[in-house]
């Protein structure tokens, strides 16, 4: 065996220190919850963009721009969620099929949806996402994962803000 092959073999067999002081079982549990959150965030992102693209009606411009802003904010969460799971030593989503297998928020594949229904559905989905974020936050608290909990607190605030805006519009 050549020297480089031996070095590679030794490197593969060497034990690696855990990435965190959080126990492996807690990392697996938190990563699984983050995987579901990530799937839900991708589903909400795509639904928000779908409604943005297919918006119509009297308030088209305002709603179109609002949903674009919301979609950007939602998409910004994706990399942070996935990288947090990896930082802990866990895994994350691998494909569209993986998203579909883990998402809890429902897709909307209707050809035509009224603007009011779009906003109502997005409001509900953001409320659901807030609940899922809180559940994951509680899990992180149980295992002493303050870094993930801190990120989630910001995402809850952003999600509640989207819900507030949508609620105010729907209540017109």
Residue 25 has pLDDT above 70, yes or no: yes
Residue partners of 84: CB distance under 8 A and separation at least 6:
34, 147, 148, 151
Whether the pTM exceeds 0.85: the reply is: yes
CA atoms within 13 A on the CB side of 16: 8
Domain residue limits, the chain: 22-170
pLDDT class of 14 with cuts at 50, 70, 90 = very low
What per-residue confidence (pLDDT) applies to 94? 97
What would the mean pLDDT of 143-159 be, rounded to a whole number?
A: 98
State pLDDT tens for residues 75-131.
999 999 999 999 999 999 999 999 999 999 999 999 999 999 999 999 999 999 999
Would you say domain 22-170 falls under CATH 1.20.1260.10? yes
Going from the C-alpha of 21 to that of each of 34, 109, 137, 145, the distances in angstroms are 18, 43, 18, 9
Residue 10 has pLDDT above 90, yes or no: no
Average pLDDT, the chain: 91
Q: With pLDDT > 70 as the criterion, what percentage of the chain qualifies?
A: 89
């Amino acid at each position: 065996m050549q020297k480089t092959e031996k070095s590679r073999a030794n490197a593969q067999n060497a034990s690696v220190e855990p990435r965190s002081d959080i126990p492996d079982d807690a990392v697996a549990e938190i990563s699984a919850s983050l995987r579901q959150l990530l799937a839900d965030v991708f589903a909400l992102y795509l639904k928000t963009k779908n409604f943005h693209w297919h918006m119509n009606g009297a308030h088209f411009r305002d709603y179109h721009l609002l949903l674009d802003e919301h979609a950007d904010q939602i998409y910004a969460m994706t990399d942070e969620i996935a990288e947090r799971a990896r930082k802990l030593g866990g895994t994350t989503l691998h494909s569209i099929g993986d998203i579909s297998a883990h998402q809890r928020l429902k897709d909307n594949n209707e050809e035509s949806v009224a603007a009011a229904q779009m906003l109502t559905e997005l409001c509900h989905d953001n409320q659901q996402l807030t609940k899922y974020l809180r559940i994951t936050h509680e899990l992180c608290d149980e295992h002493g994962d303050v870094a993930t909990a801190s990120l989630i607190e910001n995402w809850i605030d952003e999600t509640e803000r989207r819900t507030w805006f949508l609620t105010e519009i729907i209540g017109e």
